[in-house]
Amino acid sequence: MNQILVTEKLYITPELKRKKKVYKFHFILSVFLVCILTSMYIYAEYDRNKSEAVSQEILEEMNEKIANATQEDTTIAKNDILLVVLNGTQKDYDSIEGLGKNETSISEAILQSKVETSPSGYQYRTIARIVIPKIGVDYPVLQGETGSAEETEALLRNSPVKYHGYDPNEVGNFCIVAHNYRNSRFFSKVKTLVVGDTIQLTDLTGRTITYSVYDKHTVDPSDTRDTTQLTGGKKEVTLITCTDDSQARIVVKCKEVK
């Protein structure tokens, strides 16, 4: 039996043409958006890597300055050491009176430090080094000249920044803010810290103090109660960064380990 193949004739209606055009438009738009998002991600990652490199350069310069300052320190006595000379000469007493005068306070060391200019044109000083062994944090802490929101935001692209408080390792609450890049950079892993973890803060005099985490919580971006300087005469450090969705702030409170 002979078989007869019959094919139906496909009619292209105006509605089908319209749907075909819409499909092409959506496809091209999707490809375009994917390209844009990929480019943005690559640029953002490049920018983060660049910020990390700048921060490490600043840290190397700070470590070199501290090392040089330590080598030049020929002081043979500290302010908290009491010397008593019995039957001494006037020369002996003059020598004792002069002990400790070559020491540089933290505030003096900061004032004597070099003023740098960020790529965005803001001036700053490097005032401390923060190390958090558990999460691999090792960064310089910057301080802007004016403390304005615009200045702080610009400096945050380079490294953690002093947000509020007295000088590092002084009595009070030294508050440090840094970006959460949702990777291993800056304060991205601060959210993993728990009570008992330690951080180390080194000031420009070369003194390093260890602090222990005693509290961690999340607050609204407008809540500044954790920056209070009422510490009961103790030394504290407060770490501040954004949550992963940037809708709130993670606050980690630390106190000096005696």
pLDDT digits (tens, 9 = 90+) for 205-245: 999 999 999 999 999 999 999 999 999 999 999 999 999 99
User: 140 with 124: CB under 8 angstroms?
Assistant: no
- What's the alpha-carbon Rg for the chain, to the nearest Å? 29
Instruction: Determine the straight-line distance between the first and last CA of the chain, rounded to whole angstroms.
Output: 103
Among 31-35, 56-60, 70-74, 250-254, top mean pLDDT goes to: 250-254
- What is 104-258's CATH number, 2.40.260.10, 1.10.10.10, 3.20.20.370, 3.40.50.2000? 2.40.260.10
Tokens of 111: 């004032």
Q: Average of pLDDT values for 55-63?
A: 75
Q: Average of pLDDT values for 111-128?
A: 93
Cα distance between residue 89 and residue 87, in whole Å: 7
Q: Average of pLDDT values for 27-48?
A: 62
- Range of lowest pLDDT (12-16, 77-81, 155-159, 164-168): 77-81
* Chain CA centroid to CA 151, Å: 14
What are the E-state strand segments in the chain? 116-117, 123-132, 137-144, 161-164, 172-177, 198-203, 208-219, 235-242, 249-256
